[in-house]
Structure 1
Amino acid sequence: MPLFLRSPLFVVLALWAGGLGAAAQFAKIVVIFPELQGHYGETGAASGYLVSLISFVGMGLGLVAGVIAIQIGLRRLLLSGLWLGAVISAWQATMPGFEAMLLSRFVEGLSHLAIVVAAPTLIAQTSQPRFQGAALTLWGTFFGVAFAVVALFAPALIGTHGLGALALVHALYMAGFAILLAFVLPRPDRTGAPAWPSIGDIARRHVSVYSSPFIAAPALGWLFYTLTFVSLLAILPPMLDPAQRTYVTAAMPLAGIASSLIIGTWLLRYLSSVSVIVAGFGLAIVMAIALVVFGVSAGLAIALFACLGLVQGASFAAVPELNPGLPERALANGGLAQMGNIGNGLGTPAALAILTLGNGFGLPLFLVICYSGAIALHLYLARRRSQARAD
């Protein structure tokens, strides 16, 4: 095997690219959601589960995936997630009945969870310490990149080859990266793996993780971010001129990516990851207030996502910064997955319910409450960490 295939840079890029497949498990439904509603007919509010059902597994099993990663190894967990995702997407490409499609989305949640726990932990493990911030900032763009790419290419693809074509392309993508990563990721020594925990041990692990100001901090802040990310992608474009919708749907996540990679990476050289997260949420509050003052516009929607881009990368960079041990990092990324799925699952229904009230202040107020809560929580946990270090 050529040496460059085992270089840390190539492995990190391959892990990130594989992670795009996990983000596309959401994007492949959200971007063509109106077309799917038309295909399945009168399914009413149940059609929303096509988006959110994938989150249900992660809501309950996020930390369990972190425990499994410790037991079976990150490499095996990642490859299992990629292959399962490929098989599920290949089945979805046949456009099965509505109930069968919902079931496939639930099972797909297992694939998504495995990837988003294993990949960032492997990226942190592969990167040299001085490059960890940049590498995990890159990882933090995976959702935005996937949504932008799918938004740009899905309309032409399904227009030419039908709705099932998008799922088929996704299946081939996942299988391709499963094969690539099987070659480039070294096989770890699994001797001396800890004994499998009992259900009681797992319950106690949840308590210890979420009571730790080090392990829990990235995940608890991430909850407030994910409460708004997917919901804003679904809600803001329809509030604009129809001629701008396709452009804005792609531009919003791209603005977050550019902000994360350019400004976020630069800030992480001088500031702690938590400081960058707090700055991103603070700027997002300013943009939310601007939505009240000036109304929804393409420029403000894109600027809001640029501010949230600082939160993306810095949240993942906070995991190794706050947790030097590999088991703690796996649990922290499990917490990120769990809180992210809770946010993705609850955020869109909450935002839509607020919009039905017909008050123009409702959505911006929801954003201000979420982002203010995130700042307050991060500052509180930072104070607890300082006290723990002093003790």
Structure 2
Amino acid sequence: MTVRTPFGLILLLWGAGLGAAAQYGKVSVIFDLLPGAYPDAGAAVGWIVSLVGFVGILFGVVAGLVVARIRYRRALLWALWMGAAVSALQAALPPLPVMLLLRVAEGASHLAIVVAAPTLIAQLSAPRDRGLTLTLWGTFFGVAFAVLAFAGRPLALSFGLPALFLAHGLYMALSALILTNRLRALPEEGAQPDFSVPQVVKDHGRIYRSPHLVAPAAGWLFYTFSFVSILTVLPPYLDPGLRAPVMTAMPLLSILVSMTLGVLLLRRLSGVQVVMAGFALSALCMVWLWLMPGAPLACLALAGALGLIQGASFAAVPQLNQTAATQAQANGTMAQMGNLGNTLGTPMMAFALAQAGYAALPVLAGAAFVAGFAVHLLLGALRRRT
């Protein structure tokens, strides 16, 4: 569709993704401060963090279907304005039930952004640049969390929780204003089926039976299951003197490898091939960590291998799905599986560690990486057959 890639506009769409990631991260980085705002909430305060993820699990595919029907530019701008309004309301620190309802609304906003923005990036990018632009998109979570840890938490500590929510709301509103003027609607692709509960159920079945639509999400499930859980449970097993630098370097190295080696590989290999290479190398790193528990170089090698999976998974979406509508469906399925992996990974890893000790970490994570490789192998065979 596009001969020349509008890199300035791509960066703006990536910036919108940073705002979407901050819908998670702004609460995560101040989680220990929330009991001060809600002293009687007890364990229920955890729902302030997790509700956005549960919305993604339940409605990820639905978001892909809805965004394709209401169009990508409209969905993205609506989601940004909604996100800005929700953050402004959160700044008032309303009663807990109201805050939880606002987090549900924020989950809907988040889903629309993470479906519409990468679909727009894929459609606006020249084919030769999609590996670069979608790999850039794949960094949005890591970059946003790093920024929030560096600047967002200090802002909340210095000026209170409302300041962080207001800053996020202003960022979302500014993104919406800029993109309103810069972003044009994609050409229509023809009428979409009527939106109804039976049609949504039918579409779910169609998507999950398609080896083209489901492939990026299938691998993404095992990546998200492992990545967050490893970063969460690994620190106690590292040398205390090296713990902080290794844990700081791991997500940064993952992004660096994704944007350098990952982009170079995507010029020669398909996204699925790069993802499979990342899973294979990650599994080997878990063997290394099994033989040498907590080895810093093994941790860094693992982070680099995971970086290959990160960007190439998004690059695989337009390679396997040619139209904007099918790309939106694939991105919605990725959102659903990503939220499921994030939600299940840490509790399952923590339970396994409690039962079996350190050995559970390389075994469980290694099994997830092997499963990610195997599911891509299977789906590739199904695509060749059809």
Q: Same fold (TM over 0.5)?
A: yes
Which of 32, 41, 51 is 1:53 aligned to? 51
- What code does the residue aligned with 1:91 have? L
CA distance in 2, matches of 1:175, 1:87: 8
2:33 is matched with: 35
Residues 294-346 of structure 1: CA deviation (Å, up to 9, x unaligned): 32355544432221111111000001111112221111111111111211222
* Alignment match, 1:224: 222
Cα distance, 1:368–1:188 mapped onto 2, change above 3 Å = closer
Paired AA for residue 290 in structure 2: V
State whether residues 275 and 308 of structure 2, in contact with CA within 8 Å, keep that contact through their aligned partners in structure 1: yes
Give the AA of the match of 1:267: L
Q: In structure 1, what residue type is equivalent to 2:123?
A: Q
In 1, Cα distance between the equivalents of 2:145 and 2:330? 25
CA RMSD of aligned residues (A): 2.3
Q: Determine if contact 1:29/1:50 at 8 Å carries over to the other structure.
A: yes
- Does the CA-based 8 Å contact 1:52-1:344 persist in structure 2? no
In structure 2, what is the Cα distance between the partners aligned to 1:242 and 1:174? 39
In structure 1, C-alpha distance between the alignment counterparts of 2:321 and 2:352, rounded to whole Å: 37
Cα deviation, 1:341-365, whole Å, max 9, x if unaligned, reads 2112222222232233361112222
SS in 1 for 2:355: coil
1:316 aligns with 2:334: no
Give the TM-score normalised by structure 2: 0.91
- Paired residues in the alignment total 383
Say if 1:178 and 1:245 are closer, same or farther in 2 by CA, change over 3 A: farther
State the alpha-carbon separation in 1 of the partners of residues 111 and 70 from structure 2: 15
Report matched runs for 1:173-322 at 5 Å. 173-188=171-186, 193-237=191-235, 240=238, 247-296=245-294, 299-322=297-320
- How far apart, in 2, do the equivalents of 1:238 and 1:33 lie? 20
Query: Given that residues 257 and 304 in structure 2 are in contact (C-alpha distance below 8 angstroms), is that contact kept between their aligned partners in structure 1?
Result: yes
Matched, 1:106 2:99: no
Q: Given that residues 30 and 234 in structure 1 are in contact (C-alpha distance below 8 angstroms), is that contact kept between their aligned partners in structure 2?
A: no
Partner of 2:156: 158
Q: 1:343 aligns with which of 333, 341, 358?
A: 341
Q: Deviations over 1:34-88 (max 9, x none)?
A: 2334554475543432322101112121121111122110001111111111112
Would the aligned equivalents of 1:148 and 1:251 in 2 still touch at CA under 8 Å?
no
Contact kept? 1:40, 1:98, Cα under 8 Å? yes
Q: Mark the runs of 5 or more structure 2 residues left unpaired by the alignment.
A: none
SS at match of 1:307: helix
Deviations 1:71-120 (A, max 9, x none): 11000111111111111222222333433333322221101100000000
What is the CA-CA distance between 1:198 and the residue it aligns to?
Answer: 2.5
Of stretches 236-245 and 208-217 in structure 1, the one that deviates more from structure 2 is 236-245
* AA of the residue aligned to 1:212: S
Write the distance in 1 (CA, Å) between the matches of 2:241 and 2:35. Answer: 22
The whole-number CA distance in structure 1 between the counterparts of 2:237 and 2:101 is 32
User: Equivalent residue of 1:360, what SS?
Assistant: helix
Structure 1: gaps (5+ residues): 1-5
TM-score, structure 1 normalization: 0.90
- Counterparts of 1:167 and 1:250 in 2: how far apart (Å)? 25
Offset, 1:382? 0.6
| Letter of the 2:103 counterpart | R
User: Percent identity, aligned pairs only?
Assistant: 49
Q: Tell me how far apart the structure 1 counterparts of residues 150 and 80 of structure 2 sit (CA, whole Å).
A: 23
The 1:324/1:361 distance shift into structure 2, 3 A limit, reads: same
Aligned partners of 1:192, 1:42: CA distance in 2, in Å?
52
Question: What's the counterpart of residue 135 of structure 1?
Answer: 133
CA distance in 1, matches of 2:250, 2:168: 22
The whole-number CA distance in structure 2 between the counterparts of 1:166 and 1:235 is 27
Kindly provide the amino acid, as one letter, of the partner of residue 325 in structure 1. Answer: T
- Name the amino acid aligned to 2:22: A
Aligned equivalents of 2:243, 2:158: Cα separation in 1: 21
* 1:76-115 map, 5 Å: 76-115=74-113
Alpha-carbon distance in 2 for matches of 1:300, 1:212: 36
Rounded to whole Å, the distance in 2 between the matches of 1:244 and 1:97 is 42
Q: What corresponds to 2:325 in structure 1?
A: 327
Which residue pairs with 1:26 in the alignment?
Answer: 24
Task: Supply the distance in 1 between the matched residues of 2:29 and 2:308 (Cα, whole angstroms).
Answer: 24
Q: Decide whether the 8 Å contact of 2:64 with 2:329 is kept in 1.
A: yes
Structure 1 residues 81 and 10: alpha-carbon distance in aligned structure 2, compared to 1, 3 A threshold: same
The AA in structure 2 aligned to 1:324 is Q
Structure 2: distance between partners of 1:103 and 1:246: 36
Distance 1:245 1:378 in 2: 34
* AA matched with 1:219: A
Q: In structure 1, what is the equivalent of residue 350 of structure 2? A: 352
| Aligned equivalents of 1:233, 1:104: Cα separation in 2 | 28
- In 2 relative to 1, CA 197–98 (structure 1 residues): closer, same or farther, beyond 3 Å? closer
What is residue 3 of structure 1 aligned with on the other side? none
- The alpha-carbon deviation at position 367 of structure 1 amounts to 0.7
Cα contact 2:285–2:298 (8 A) shared by 1 = yes
